[in-house]
Structure 1
Amino acid sequence: MMQLLRDILDKQVVDREQVKIGKVDGLVAELRQAKPPRVIAVELGSIALGRRLGAVPGRWAARLVARLSGKRQTRPHRIAWNKVRDIGVDIEFDIDVRQTKIFAWQDWLREHVIGRIPGA
């Protein structure tokens, strides 16, 4: 499991069209009785990254994101592990990023902040 963490965390994630989604900030594992843990998803986003730094930074990141996003995003984005297509320099998932809400925060920021800057 430690080698998987080393090889997966902080790697670039791309969708099937090679659109960059972000970096792997966390892994979600299923604990099974008398069997090794099984990875079921990867997490992306500042909430998952905050959790890696500890409980307090994780709670702080979740509160900040919830406050800034109007509570639309209170959990990290998860992509099911069974959607992995390839693990190389990047981790490619068999998803279409345009069909997800992964970029919702960027879209909101573009509409409500960047779009209001003269000349933007």
Structure 2
Amino acid sequence: MRLQLNGRLLDRQIVDRDGRLVGKVDDVEFASDADGVPYVHALLTGQVALGQRIGGRVGRLLVAVAQQFVEDLPAAPVRIPYGLVERVDSAVRLRVPLDELPPSPVEAWLRRHLIDRIPGAGRASG
């Protein structure tokens, strides 16, 4: 059996249920059921996922930069369980809001070290 996900999932934009951009599908994680049949377990997004996918010097650089934004090494890709996918069309559309997804290491670092330090940032309307 041959799975062809390259044109169906990889590099598609991921949007939450409200249409907000989450990121893009940088890689796909598989698992196997009890009978050994593979299935898509999670969508991987972020610099680490992209770096691991493309490999080589550029891939290692992407992962190294992402490592600078995490406290617990090694940095890991952001995993979005495939069960959260509502549908796949021109984008991967999720059934949950962005706030219910794990933040990327870069976004979490920026929030902690920059955004939260801006006076009034905690009172910003959304």
Shared fold per TM-score greater than 0.5: yes
**2-structure distance, mates of 1:97, 1:73:** 24
**2-structure distance, mates of 1:111, 1:102:** 12
1:80 aligns with 2:93: no
1:53 alignment partner in structure 2: 54
Q: Sequence identity of aligned pairs in percent?
A: 28
| Aligned-partner SS, 1:47 | helix
2:17 alignment partner in structure 1: 16
Q: Which runs of 5+ in 1 are unaligned?
A: none
Normalising by structure 2, we get a TM-score of 0.72
In the TM superposition, residue 111 of structure 1 has moved relative to its aligned partner by 6.6
RMSD over aligned CA atoms reads 3.0
Identify the structure with the greater helix proportion.
Answer: 1
Normalising by structure 1, we get a TM-score of 0.75
Q: Which runs of 5+ in 2 are unaligned?
A: 118-126
Matches within 5 A, 1:1-120: 1-31=2-32, 35-54=36-55, 57-71=58-72, 74-102=75-103, 105-106=106-107, 108-109=109-110, 112=113
Give a deviation string over 1:14-49, Cα, whole Å, max 9, x none: 011111111100000014576442110000001110
Count residues in correspondence: 116
